[in-house]
Chain A
Amino acid sequence: MIPLSGDVVDSKGIISEKIESYNIKRGTSTLKRGFAHMLKNGVVMDVTTVEQAQIAEDSGAVAVMVLDKLPSDVRKAGGVARTASIRIIQEIMDAVTIPVMAKCRIGHVYEAMVLQETNVDMIDESEVLTPADESHHIWKWDFTTPFVNGARSLGEALRRIEEGAAMIRTKGEPGTGNVAEAVTHIKNVNDELRRIRSIYDSGDEQDLVRMARELRVSYSMLEETASLGRLPVVNFAAGGISTPADAAYLMTLGCDGIFVGSGIFKAEDAKERAQAIVLATTFWEEPDKVKEAQKMIDERQSMLGLDTKNLELRMQERGSTA
């Protein structure tokens, strides 16, 4: 079981209120992590317009992520990528009933504040946008709105959780239509989890302390994770997912769900593809159903994609040392 606790005492993001005779609390770890639990086994889709958001909802997306440009266009355009237009985010929030997420730049506290005031359901502190502060991520305990962060190793994931992230996703290499990096990242995390789990089972506390130092996380965070044998929050796959088979494959590696960025709306058959990726994610344990889903798409209409070896911009490296 994934724990729901993890409050930093006196976290500014927790708000106590009195409504009539009720004492209520908002922004607790249970509410933030609990929200992420409701997304499990689902697909979150990147969208840039109301029309795309409606297609996503009708196709069975569990949430939408609003961007100004899809990651592959961010890559092409170059320059500085910032949070999406608030007006578009609001239009999408008024048009769909599923949760609406939006991205802010790594370390950009005020873009995140603006998104919280806009009332988005989750904030993605994302490497797809140009980082505002490479050495400090946002202290997410200060927010009532939950955050998701990218990670490509266990240390990175745990550091983000210590900063208050309620959910983790792999980074992959966004906007490439190439799933290879996401596969590598989830395997890295799984390998490292197995390693700390075996140290935990051996009872060698000194080695656990050494691992905590190596990963630059607190001992208590490392110990909790080692005892669970998995990340202490919901963990999705992201970065380069383009086909139903991609999604199903990542589910087999132990991911709790899928983010699809450019893969859907950069393809010529967006509507069918959105439905197909949802089907493959839901029924990933049944190869015949994944085949049916894969049959719904036409490979000639997939986004062309990029070889991740020769990229000028490696988004996954952004913020990874912090």
Chain B
Amino acid sequence: MSGLNIGVLAIQGDVAENSFATKMALEENGIEGVVREIKSPEQIPELNGLIIPGGESTVIGQLSLVNGSLKQIKEKISSGMPVLGTCAGLILLSRKAKDRVVGEMDQPLLDLLDVKVERNAFGRQRDSFEAEISMEKIGIPKFKGIFIRAPSIVEIGKNVEIISKFNEKIVAVKQGNIVGTSFHPELTNDLSLHKYFVKLVNSKNA
């Protein structure tokens, strides 16, 4: 193999930030690879890893359903491709979503990560916050959490490992090849989570 092919789902949201962080993470880890923005389903089968960025989960979900990406992504992750979902990405990976105010949601989801999420769990934009959190379990003791209209995880299945909590709320989880966070690592200068993910992709493709 001549290096990894990592995609960032480029339907809507902060795609550029995730691409940049992943490129830097590859470089700092000394792992060979390319980062591609994924706009059409044909690009998905060749991927070794995928990042689903922040944005609006309803929009990313609906439009990746329309262009056929959702089905392809689901197949690929089910066959073991590592995936990282941040904020909206976490929601899309989940089994079920509800909104704090509106209630149960009927939006397109990948239904791969055995968790139920609560959207806008910390409130609206004015309540968005920065806080130091810890992801000790994956070797990141200190991390700046950027929570923007963030979801939280309210129910987890037995195969889901909790990576981080903020004030008793679950904000990062891992289930095999799937990693999801409520917060936005791509909006910090700290590459540790992207480096962890790139290593995970590398180990699955060794």
Q: What residues of chain A lie closer than 8 Å to B88, measured between beta carbons?
A: 38
Question: What is the minimal beta-carbon distance from A95 to any residue of chain B, in angstroms?
Answer: 7
Restricting to B49-102, which residues have a CB under 8 Å from any CB of A? 54-56, 58-59, 62-63, 66-67, 87-88, 99, 101-102
Q: Are B187 and A4 in contact (CB under 8 A)?
A: yes
**Which residue in B14, B20, B102 is a CB contact (below 8 Å) of A96?**
B102
Contact A93-B54, Cβ < 8 Å, known A25-B130, A122-B125: no
Q: What residues of chain B lie closer than 8 Å to A145, measured between beta carbons?
A: 125-126
Interface flag for A219 (CB, 8 Å): no
Restricting to A237-281, which residues have a CB under 8 Å from any CB of B? 278-279
Contact A38-B129, Cβ < 8 Å, known A22-B166, A97-B58: no
Question: What is the minimal beta-carbon distance from A265 to any residue of chain B, in angstroms?
Answer: 19
**Which residue in A22, A35, A119 is a CB contact (below 8 Å) of B167?**
A22
Q: Are A42 and B99 in contact (CB under 8 A)?
A: no
Q: How far is the CA of A202 from the CA of B167 in the complex (A)?
A: 52
Interface pick from A26-34, A183-191, A210-218, A299-307: A26-34
Q: Are B187 and A30 in contact (CB under 8 A)?
A: yes
Restricting to B97-141, which residues have a CB under 8 Å from any CB of A? 99, 101-102, 105, 119-120, 123-132
Interface flag for B149 (CB, 8 Å): yes
**Which residue in A26, A34, A57 is a CB contact (below 8 Å) of B126?**
A26
Q: How far is the CA of A23 from the CA of B101 in the complex (A)?
A: 26
Q: Which of A24, A39, A122 has the most CB of B within 10 A?
A: A24
Q: What residues of chain B lie closer than 8 Å to A22, measured between beta carbons?
A: 131-132, 166-167
Contact A23-B131, Cβ < 8 Å, known A38-B13, A38-B14, A38-B55: yes
Q: Are A28 and B58 in contact (CB under 8 A)?
A: no
Q: Are A37 and B59 in contact (CB under 8 A)?
A: no
Which applies to chain A's interface (DSSP): helix, strand, loop or mixed?
loop
Q: Are A282 and B11 in contact (CB under 8 A)?
A: yes
Interface flag for A62 (CB, 8 Å): yes
Q: Are A24 and B14 in contact (CB under 8 A)?
A: no
Q: Are A24 and B124 in contact (CB under 8 A)?
A: no
Interface flag for B146 (CB, 8 Å): yes
**Which residue in B12, B120, B148 is a CB contact (below 8 Å) of A42?**
B12
Q: Are A41 and B146 in contact (CB under 8 A)?
A: no
Question: What is the minimal beta-carbon distance from A313 to any residue of chain B, in angstroms?
Answer: 32
Contact A98-B148, Cβ < 8 Å, known A20-B167, A23-B131, A40-B12: no
Contact A97-B63, Cβ < 8 Å, known A62-B56, A122-B125, A282-B12: no
Q: What residues of chain A lie closer than 8 Å to B131, measured between beta carbons?
A: 19, 22-25
Q: What residues of chain A lie closer than 8 Å to B54, measured between beta carbons?
A: 37-38
Q: What residues of chain A lie closer than 8 Å to B149, measured between beta carbons?
A: 35, 38, 99, 121
Interface flag for B8 (CB, 8 Å): no
**Which residue in A19, A35, A63, A93 is a CB contact (below 8 Å) of B128?**
A35
Name B189's closest neighbour in chain A (CB-CB): A4
A contacts, CB < 8 Å to B: 1-2, 4, 17, 19-20, 22-28, 30-31, 34-35, 37-42, 57, 60-63, 93-99, 116, 119-122, 144-146, 278-279, 282-283, 285-286, 289
Query: Can you list the 4 inter-chain pairs with the closest CB atoms, starting with the nearest?
Result: A121-B125, A37-B14, A24-B131, A97-B99
B contacts, CB < 8 Å to A: 10-17, 20, 39-40, 54-56, 58-59, 62-63, 66-67, 87-88, 99, 101-102, 105, 119-120, 123-132, 146, 148-149, 166-167, 184, 187
In the complex, given contacts A40-B12, A42-B56, A97-B119, what are 7 additional A-B residue pairs having Cβ atoms less than 8 angstroms apart?
A: A30-B146, A31-B128, A42-B12, A62-B12, A94-B102, A146-B125, A282-B12
